[in-house]
Amino acid sequence: MYDVIIIGAGPAGLTAAIYALRANKSVLVLEKESFGGQITYSPKVENYPGFNEISGSELGEKLVDQAINLGAEIELDTVISVRNLGAYKIVQGEHGEYQSKSIIIAAGSHHRQLGLPREDEFTGNGVSYCALCDGAFYKDRTIAVIGGGNTALQDAVLLSDQCAKVTIVQNLAFCTGEKRLMEILKSKKNVSFLYNTVVEELEGEDQLSSIMLRNMETDRTERLKVDGIFVAIGQQPDNKAFESVCRLDEQGFIISDESTDTSTPGVYAAGDCRTKKVRQVVTAAGDGAVAALNACRFVEG
């Protein structure tokens, strides 16, 4: 029986572990994929307090090390359900069952797909969701970045240093990312923008060779030859395992505010898996701290 079980080992979950451990609580962290969360895929983090610049993987490693050094137990397991039995909760994983007095859900979110035919077929064969992971495969080649937010613009900056040509395809009339990133991209001769444009079809035999685009204002279509595309159109949660203890909104995010409370006492939601306006590593860490303090108060009665 643990005091706190934390589901997810990203910045929110690991911060929660650090705070709960410092309050002398027993803590188990469950993670289904990679420790450190989505931030580990960011080549450069420049907006986290205390670091002028740090790679996402290094930041993730520091968080993991700190939690382990304080005494956190960490298990690699996929949670498939959570049951509330009043005095305690049961977390059912694929490989084991775990009991706890309180739970913090910090399961994060994953890359949103375009939802086009053959997208899964071309994933790894011209369609990627991680510029840091796959950018080197497209050195001196032609690619497109789909999206106009911070992640898309950061990906485009990274890829523009490796690829011969980068086209940013945005469905709005403007990009929503930081002005500083836009200034960097506009100064690069190998970067161009297509606004009010969506991808309608992925083309190729075994490997993606072109994409069919449609301008939403004119309804005109055009084919853009590319060696690959990097999709950066946001994140989506995977909270189905928690719907028995948490109310979800229409997009599947756990309904919770800055208090991190959910619809079940003793169950808290932190980070990108919950409803919120700003999803950044620093806000995830803030959620983790609040959720841990709330969980500790709940355990103490």
pLDDT in the model for residue 56? 86
Distance CA(285)–CA(237), nearest Å, equals 18
CA dist., res. 7 & res. 51, Å (int): 27
pLDDT of residue 134: 86
Angle at 146 between CA 153 and CA 281, to 5 degrees: 45
pLDDT for position 16? 98
pLDDT for 105 equals 98
Q: Which residues are catalytic?
A: 130, 133-134
* Sequence-ordered strand ranges (E) for the chain: 2-7, 27-31, 73-76, 79-84, 89-93, 97-105, 110-111, 127-128, 142-146, 165-169, 191-194, 197-204, 208-215, 221-225, 228-231, 235-236, 267-269
β-bridge mates for residue 7, sequence order: 30, 105
Burial of 279 (0-12, 13-18, 19+ CB in 10 A): middle
List the domains of the chain with CATH numbers. Answer: 2-111+235-300 (3.50.50.60), 119-231 (3.50.50.60)
Under-50 pLDDT residues of the chain: none
Give pLDDT, residue 198: 98
User: 32 near 60, Cβ under 8 Å?
Assistant: no
The distance from CA 196 to its chain's CA centroid, rounded to whole angstroms, is 25
Query: In angstroms, what CA-CA distances link 7 with 211, 251, 271?
Result: 38, 20, 11
Alpha carbons 16 and 8: distance in angstroms, whole number = 10
Report the amino acid identity of residue 261.
D
Report which DSSP code applies to 187: T
**pLDDT at residue 46, rounded to an integer:** 81
How far apart are alpha carbons 253 and 222 in whole angstroms? 36
